[in-house]
Chain A
C-alpha cells in the first residue's frame, strides 16, 4: 500500500504530496490540527527521530513549534505561523526555520466518504527548492544519513 503516497515536483518552485484516506475530511482535518493527535503520526518510528514536543495554536495568525530529537541538547525545531485555517478543507502555514523554506498548503477534499489530501509546498525560488533537495548547506552532517540511503538507491539502479 506504500505507493498510495505520491510526491511530484510540479514546477521549479513546487513540491506536491498526495494521498487518499478512508475517512471523512473532518476526521482527517482533526488529526492535522490537534497536537495530541499529530504526536501520534508526524514522527513515525521508522524515521528514527522522535517528536519531543508539539505546540500548535491552530487559527489564522497562530504559531506552531515542533521539536525533534533524542534530547533537548541535540533537538532541532520547526516553527512558523498559520496563515489560513478553514475547517475541514484547508490549512496554510509558513515554515520560518529558514529564509528559503516553503509555504505549505494542505487541502482536504472529501468524496464518497474518502478524503483526498494534497500537501503543496511553494518555495521562494527554484534555488531554494534545489537546495532543499540537494541539501548542500550547513545541514549536511545530519543529512548524511539521507545521502547514505540515496547512494544505496542509486547503486541499486546502476
Chain B
C-alpha cells in the first residue's frame, strides 16, 4: 500500500497534473486536447497522464488514433472519503456544541 500512497502523492504534487484532473472533472479529453490546453508537447502530456493513470486517478481508452482520458474510479472513493472527513469535522463541532447546550440548559434552570 505504501507504493500506492507514494504514487498518489507524486501524482498530485504537480500543478499541471492537478489541473488535468480538474479539467477531466468537467469533461473527458484526449491527450492532444490536454496538451493544447496546458501548452505542452504531446510527449510531456503523455508522461503526466501516465503518472495519473499509474496512481489510479485517470483511466485512458484508445480508439483509433485518439487516446481519451477520463477520471478513474478513484474519484468515487475520494468522494466517500471526503464526506467521511467532513462528517468527522461536524461530529467534533457537535460534540463541543453538546457541551454548550448543556451549560445553557443548566443556566436556564438556575434562573427559574
Which residues of A are at the interface with B, using a C-beta cutoff of 8 A? 1-2, 4-9, 15, 17, 19, 21-23, 27-28, 30-31, 37, 40-42, 44, 46-47, 119, 127, 130-131, 133-137, 140, 146-147, 149-151, 153-155, 157-158
Of B26, B77, B92, the contact of A154 (CB 8 Å cutoff): B77
What is the interface of chain A mostly: helix, strand, loop, or mixed?
helix
**9 examples of A-B residue contacts, CB within 8 angstroms:** A28-B97, A41-B99, A44-B96, A127-B25, A133-B82, A146-B85, A153-B81, A153-B84, A154-B81
Q: How far is the CA of A147 from the CA of B9 in the complex (A)?
A: 9
Residues of B within 8 A of A22 (CB): 98, 101
Q: How far is the CA of A19 from the CA of B85 in the complex (A)?
A: 16
Are B22 and A41 in contact (CB-based, < 8 A)? no
Most buried by A among B81, B87, B105: B81
Q: Restricting to B7-61, which residues have a CB under 8 Å from any CB of A? A: 8-9, 12, 18-19, 21-22, 25-26
Q: A2-B91, A44-B95 are in contact. Are A31 and B100 (CB under 8 A)?
A: yes
CB distance from A76 to the nearest CB of B (A): 15
Q: How far is the CA of A130 from the CA of B39 in the complex (A)?
A: 25
Total interface residues on B, using CB and 8 Å? 41
Q: A7-B90, A47-B89 are in contact. Are A23 and B25 (CB under 8 A)?
A: no
Of B79, B87, B96, the contact of A41 (CB 8 Å cutoff): B96
Residues of B within 8 A of A8 (CB): 83
Which residues of B are at the interface with A, using a C-beta cutoff of 8 A? 1, 4-5, 8-9, 12, 18-19, 21-22, 25-26, 75, 77-79, 81-102, 104-105, 108
Residues of B within 8 A of A40 (CB): 96, 99-100
Give the residue name and chain of the A residue nearest to B24 (CB): A136
Most buried by B among A40, A146, A151: A151
Of B18, B82, B96, B101, the contact of A23 (CB 8 Å cutoff): B101
Residues of A within 8 A of B79 (CB): 9, 133-134
Are B18 and A5 in contact (CB-based, < 8 A)? no
Residues of B within 8 A of A5 (CB): 87, 90-91, 94
Are A44 and B25 in contact (CB-based, < 8 A)? no
Of A19, A31, A131, A146, the contact of B25 (CB 8 Å cutoff): A131
